[in-house]
Chains A and B, each alone.
Chain A
Amino acid sequence: MTVAAPEPKVNMGNPVPRYDAVVKVTGRATYASDMPLANPAYAYLVTSAIAKGRVESFDLAGANRVRGVIDIVTHENGPKLKELKLYSNGGYAGTTIQPLRSADIAHDGQIIAVVIAESYEAAREAANRVKVSYTAVVPSATFDSPGTTTAAAKGQNSQFKEDPQVGNFAKAFEDAEVKLTASYDTPTQHHNPMELFSTSCAWIGDNLVIYEPSQYVYGLKNGVAEQLGIDADKVRVVNPYVGGGFGSRGSMTPRTAIIAAIARRLNRPIKLVPTRDQGFTIATYRAETRHEIKLGASRDGKLVALRHEGAEVSSRPDPYCVGGTKTTTRLYACPNVDSLVSIVRADRNTPGFMRSPPEVPYLFALESAMDELAVKLNMDPVELRRINDTTNEPIGGKPYTSRSLMACFDEAAKAFGWSQRSPEPKSMADGDWLIGYGCAATCYPTQMGPSAARVRLQRDGRTRVEIAGHEIGTGAYTIIAQTASERLGVPLEKVAVFVGDSELPPAPVAGGSNSTASTCSAVMMVCDQIRQRLFKAMMPNQSLTDRAKETVGIGQTPATRAAKSDRSLDLEKAFDALGAGVVEEYGEWKPEDAPPDSFQAMHSGHVRLVGGHSLKDKIAYAFGAEFVEVRVNRFTHEIRAPRLVGAFAAGRIMNPRTARSQLMGGLIWGMSSALLEATEIDQRTARYVNDNFADYLVPVNADVPGVEVILLSEQDDHINPAGAKGLGELANVGTNAAVCNAIYHATGQRIRKLPVRLENIEV
C-alpha cells in the first residue's frame, strides 16, 4: 500500500487503480470536443460587453469578409426555441435567460451572436470583427448596489421550503450567559473545470447526437428535446469522460439548443469550444453571500441559542439560492434555533450549483463563529464541538443514521499534532513566519436518487455494466466495476463499464454527491437479479422464500437467500443449468422515501434526490474534521497553508484510493477558496474582470506541500444498500473556516470575509 492507495480498514473496498487511469495518462480518453465529426463547421460565440440594456445594431461587414465564414446568427435571425424552464420548476435549465431571443441583455457576457465558419480560427477572427452598438443601462452589480431587490427565499424558490426554527431563540439569546454576534462574507467563485464548456451537435436525419461535458446526460437530452420541440428519444448525449464539473454541468445551459438548432439549419455538424472567459458568463457560478450568526451559550459551552441569517445574490428572473441553514441549524445540539435566508436580485447571470453549494458559505460562517465562541469561553475549539455534539438534529429531533464527527476530530487532531498548539494567539513562530493552527467541522448530506442499470454476464465471467452515470474525474468507472466484480464474484479485469451516454439506463445527475450511493445500489441490485436467475437455474426446486420477489422494476434488492448468499457461484455450472450463453438483467432501484413519481422522473431527466434532512424519520450526513497550519509572513503578510489534515467518515468507502483523491482535492479546493479564489466584479458595469486562469487564482503545487487524508471506518445500514455516503463534496466545506481560525491563532486577527489576502492582515 502507498499513500495514494491507503490500506482498507473495516467496511472499505480495495484501493484498486482507476479503471480509466491508462487512457487518461496517455491522453487517449476522448472528451466531448475530441469526438470526431464528419465535415464539421466551427462556432465561436460573441458575448455582450454590457450587463444591462440592448443591442441596437450589429455591423457584420468586417466579419463577413473573413474567408471561411458561413453564417452569423444573432437575435435577428436566431433559432426559434421553446422557453427555458428551470430545473427547480419542472424544467431542465439552470437559467431562464434565453439568449438570441431579443435584443435585450440581462447580464455581462450574454451570448449575442454565434459565428459559424469553416475553421475555428476563421470563426474566432470573424467574431473579433463583429461590431456591436449597445444602449447601456446602469446595472446593479451585487449587494449594496442601487437597484437590487431583496426578498425572503421561502415562497419564491420551490426547493427552499422552510426557514428552520425551533424553541424560542429571542428569549434564549437574551438570557444567554455568553453571546456572540458576527457577520461573514463569501465571494463570487467560478468552477473553472479544466474542460471548457464545449458542445458539438450532429444530426443524422431526425436524430441529434450531442457531445458535451454534462453531469446529467438524461437531463440534457430531455431539455434540448423540449427546447427544440422534438421527441426526446431522438436526442442522444454522449460524454464518456468529463473534464471536471463541480456542479457547473448539472443543469442545461442555453448554448446547447442554440448550437443544435444552427446545426439543423445548416445541415452540418457544428463544434463549439467557448473560451475560458466566456465560461464565466455562459454557465453558472457560486454567488457571493452574507451571513449574520448569533450564538448564545452557557459558561460551560453548551449552546442555548443559535440564529443564522443568510443573503445570497441571484439574477433578476431566477430565484436561485442554496439555503445552507438547513444544515447549520441542525449540526449541533441547541434547543432554540432561528434562521432566515434572503435572495438579492442583481443584473447577473443566474448562479448555480458549485461543489457543496449550501455548505461551503454557510458552514464558513457557523464554524468561524464556533471558533470565536470557543475563544470567548476560553475553551479548546475541539472541546466546544464535543460539548455540543448530538445524536439527534435539534429541529425535528430526528436521529442521525450515523455520526462520527468527534471520532474524526480526535483522529485528525492526533495526526496533526493539535496538542502541540499553544492556545494563545501569536504565540508560535518560525523565523519570519507566524504560525497558526486552526480547525473546523465539515459535513455533507447523504443523498440518493433513483437509478437503473443493465448488467450482462457471460459464461466466461466477462461482464458488461451499462448505466448512464458520469465520469467527472471522481472514479465512477472504477467503483461501478468494483461493485459488479464483488457482487458477481468475477475478476475486476473482466468487467467493462459504460457510462456517459443517454442511450444507457438512466442514472441521476452527478451532483449532490449521490452518484456512488445511487449507481452502486442499482448495480448491486441488478447483479443480485443475475445471481438469483443463475441460482434458480441450478436449484429449480429450492425453497419457497426464493420466489418472493421477481425484481425488475420494483426498486429493491432481491430478498432471496440465493441472491444474498455469500457463496461463490460456479459460473460454468450455472450457465449450463440455465442453457444460455449470456444472462442480462435490467433493474430500477430507488431509495427509501423516494417520491412516487421517481421512476417516471428518472426517465424524463428530472432529479429526485432524497437524503440529508429530507428523510422521513432520520437524518443522514457524512462528517469530518479538518485541521490547518497557516504561516503568515511578518513582513509581507503573505499567507501560506503548508499543512492540511482531514479525517472523514462516510459509511462504506468503496475504494480508499479514489476516496482519498476526492477528499484531498476537496481540502485543496477549500484552502484555495479561503485564500485565493474570487471572481472580481466591476461595480460600475457588473462585469467579471479576472475571467481567466492568470487572474482567477487557484493553487499551484508549491501552495500545497502537505495534505493528509484519514479515512475512518464507519458502518451505516440505514442509508442505502451500498452503505455509502457521498464524499465528493465533503472535504471542501470546513476548510474555509479552519484556515481563518488558524489565521486568528497566528495573528490574533479575526477575518470574516473571504478570500483572505495579505492586505487583510495587520500584524
Chain B
Amino acid sequence: MRSFLYQRATDPGMAVQALSAAAAANNPLTQAAAQPLAGGTTLIDLMKLDVMRPAAIVDINPLAQGWSGIETGGEKLRLGALAKMSDVAAHADIQRHYPVIANSLRLAASAQLRNMATLGGNVMQRTRCSYFRDISYQNCNKRIPGSGCAAMDGVNRMHAVLGTSDQCIATYPGDFAQALIALDATVEITGKSGTRSMPFAQLHKAPGNTPDIETTLQPGELISAFSIRGRWPRSVYLKARDRQSYEFALSSAAIALDVQDGVIRDARVALGGVATVPWRAREAEALLKGRKFDNGLAQRAADAAFADAKGRQHNSFKISLGKRLVARALQQASTMEV
C-alpha cells in the first residue's frame, strides 16, 4: 500500500468533482489517481497488494442517505448503489418478488463482507485472477497493457470460458451482476453533467484487446442506483463452488422465467463464474421462448448457452458443469410455486 490522500464526500457533486479532477482522459478508470471508496472490500485489498495505487480516495459513504434506498413499491424495483448486500438480501419483498436477486446476494462472500459491501461496489468488483492480484507476475495485460497473460497457460482452473480474448481470460467474479443482467436492469450513473441511465448490460466491457478497460464509466462517474421493471417471482440463482460458503462460483446461473398456461413467454438466462463479464445467454433464451418446458428443452438451451465456450488446460470442465447447472436451474425455475 502506498500513501494516499483521504477525502470524505459531502454531496454527490463534490464526489464527482474530486474524482474527475484526478482522472486523466487517456487512462482507464481503474488506474485513475482518485478512487471512490464504498464498502472497501475490493479496493483496500488491491491497495494492500499494490495492484491499485490511487493517490487519493474519495469516501462516498456519506452519500448513503440518498443512495441506499430499497424501493419495491409498484412494478418497479429501485436499489440505491450504497445499499448493503446484506440489507437487500434480507428484504422480504426482494425475496418474494425477485428471488434471483436475493439469492445471488445471499450466496456471495461471507456474512461479514455482505455487511460491509455495497451493491455499486459489488458490480465493480475486480477479477480474482491470481496473476492479476500478485504484482510479482510481469505478464498481465489487465495490469500492464501489452505485457501478456500469465494465466493463459498457467494455473487457470478458475478462469473464464466465455467472452475471453487472446489478451485475457480473467473471470468476472461477482454474483449479483448476473441477476441484474438477466432482469434487464438499468444502471443510473451520476456524473459531471448530472444523472444518466443505461442498460446494465452496457456497463461491463469484455476484455478484447484492452483488458485494462473494464467498464464504460467515464471519468468522475459514479453508479448511484439500479432499477428493474416488472416482478420476477419465478427466478432462481444456482451457484456451484468448491466449498459450501464464502467462495466464488465455479459456475453459476441466474434464471428468470415468465410461464403462462405452461408456455414460456419470457426467459432470462445469465451466467457467472464462467465469463469475463456478467454474461447474458441470449441464444438459450431464444430457444426457450414460446415453448413448453421439458428437460430436453432445458438441455438444448444449456448447450446453446455454452456453444461458443473455449476452455483452457484447467478450466474446460466449466463448460460441461455450466451446462448441467443451467439445465438444473431451468428445471427448478419451471417447477417453482409462484
Q: Give A residues with C-beta under 8 Å from B.
A: 47, 49, 121, 124-125, 128, 277, 432, 633, 635-638, 640, 675-676, 680-682, 684, 689-691, 694-695, 697, 699-703, 757-759
Indicate if the CB atoms of B321 and A697 lie closer than 8 Å: no
Does B137 belong to the interface (CB within 8 Å)?
Answer: yes
Indicate if the CB atoms of A125 and B2 lie closer than 8 Å: yes
| Residue of B1, B135, B158, B244 most packed against chain A (CB within 10 A) | B244
> Bound state CA distance, A604 and B150, in angstroms?
48
Indicate if the CB atoms of B128 and A695 lie closer than 8 Å: yes
Does B199 belong to the interface (CB within 8 Å)?
Answer: no
Q: Which residues of A contact B61 (CB under 8 A)?
A: none
Indicate if the CB atoms of B240 and A638 lie closer than 8 Å: yes
Q: Which residues of A contact B135 (CB under 8 A)?
A: 128
| Residue of B136, B150, B247 most packed against chain A (CB within 10 A) | B136
By beta carbon, the residue of chain B nearest A698 is B243
Indicate if the CB atoms of B325 and A635 lie closer than 8 Å: yes
The B contact surface, by secondary structure, is: loop
Interface size on B, residues (CB 8 A): 36
Indicate if the CB atoms of B128 and A49 lie closer than 8 Å: no
> Bound state CA distance, A47 and B246, in angstroms?
29
By beta carbon, the residue of chain A nearest B251 is A636
Q: Give B residues with C-beta under 8 Å from A.
A: 1-3, 50, 110, 128, 130-131, 134-138, 150, 153-155, 157-158, 238, 240-247, 250-251, 317, 321, 324-325, 327-328
Indicate if the CB atoms of B240 and A684 lie closer than 8 Å: no
Indicate if the CB atoms of B245 and A700 lie closer than 8 Å: yes
> Bound state CA distance, A121 and B150, in angstroms?
29
What are 14 of the A-B contact pairs (CB < 8 Å)? A121-B1, A125-B1, A128-B2, A128-B135, A635-B327, A636-B240, A636-B325, A675-B242, A689-B155, A695-B130, A701-B245, A702-B244, A703-B243, A758-B242
By beta carbon, the residue of chain B nearest A699 is B243
Indicate if the CB atoms of A703 and B321 lie closer than 8 Å: no
Q: Which of A277, A636, A689 contacts B328 (CB 8 A)?
A: A636
Nearest-Cβ distance from residue A586 to partner chain B, whole angstroms: 48
Q: Which of A637, A680, A702 contacts B321 (CB 8 A)?
A: A637
Q: Which residues of A contact B158 (CB under 8 A)?
A: 695
Indicate if the CB atoms of A757 and B325 lie closer than 8 Å: no
The 3 closest A-B pairs by CB, nearest first: A759-B317, A49-B136, A702-B244
By beta carbon, the residue of chain A nearest B45 is A694
Indicate if the CB atoms of B244 and A635 lie closer than 8 Å: no
> Bound state CA distance, A47 and B250, in angstroms?
31
> Bound state CA distance, A125 and B55, in angstroms?
13
Q: Which residues of A contact B243 (CB under 8 A)?
A: 676, 697, 699-700, 702-703
> Bound state CA distance, A47 and B136, in angstroms?
9
Known: A635-B328, A676-B243, A702-B244. A49 touches B154 (CB 8 A): no
Nearest-Cβ distance from residue A693 to partner chain B, whole angstroms: 10
Nearest-Cβ distance from residue B231 to partner chain A, whole angstroms: 27
Nearest-Cβ distance from residue A272 to partner chain B, whole angstroms: 17
Known: A49-B137, A680-B155. A758 touches B321 (CB 8 A): yes
By beta carbon, the residue of chain A nearest B245 is A702
Nearest-Cβ distance from residue A156 to partner chain B, whole angstroms: 31
Q: Which of B50, B138, B150, B244 contacts A128 (CB 8 A)?
A: B50
> Bound state CA distance, A700 and B243, in angstroms?
8
By beta carbon, the residue of chain A nearest B327 is A635
By beta carbon, the residue of chain A nearest B324 is A635
Nearest-Cβ distance from residue A195 to partner chain B, whole angstroms: 19
Q: Which residues of A contact B324 (CB under 8 A)?
A: 635-637
